[in-house]
Amino acid sequence: MAFIQFNGITKRFPGVLALDGVSFGVARGSCHVLMGENGAGKSTRSRILAGAFVADEGEVHLDRKCSRIVSPLAARSERFAFR
């Protein structure tokens, strides 16, 4: 299993479905680039991990543990931040 794993993440904003059932994993020690058109959900996914946004559906697993990051402070306790 990946170190960071998104499973079925959905995020809605008024009038916009930003992420729809997104699953994505990153192995420990690997490096990935998220690429896509404007509005593809790249920043939204990062902000969910950083605690700036809370996913409406789905799970985030950090080091094989289900984690509900609900604030930037909670993300920092997991050693994640978004700049």
The superfamily (CATH) of domain 4-77 is P-loop containing nucleotide triphosphate hydrolases (3.40.50.300)
**Any bridge partners for residue 65, and if so which?**
62
Listed by start position, the domains of the chain span 4-77
The b/e string for 26-40 (b: 16+ C-beta within 10 A; e otherwise) is: eeeeeeeeeeeeeee
Q: How confident is the model at residue 8 (pLDDT cuts 50, 70, 90)?
A: very high
The two three-digit tokens of residue 33, written as one number: 């680039």
State pLDDT tens for residues 18-75.
999 999 899 988 888 889 999 889 999 989 988 899 999 999 998 888 887 888 888 8
**For position 53, what pLDDT does the model report?**
93
Distance CA 27, CA 3 (A): 5
**For position 50, what pLDDT does the model report?**
86
Mean pLDDT of all residues in 73-78: 79
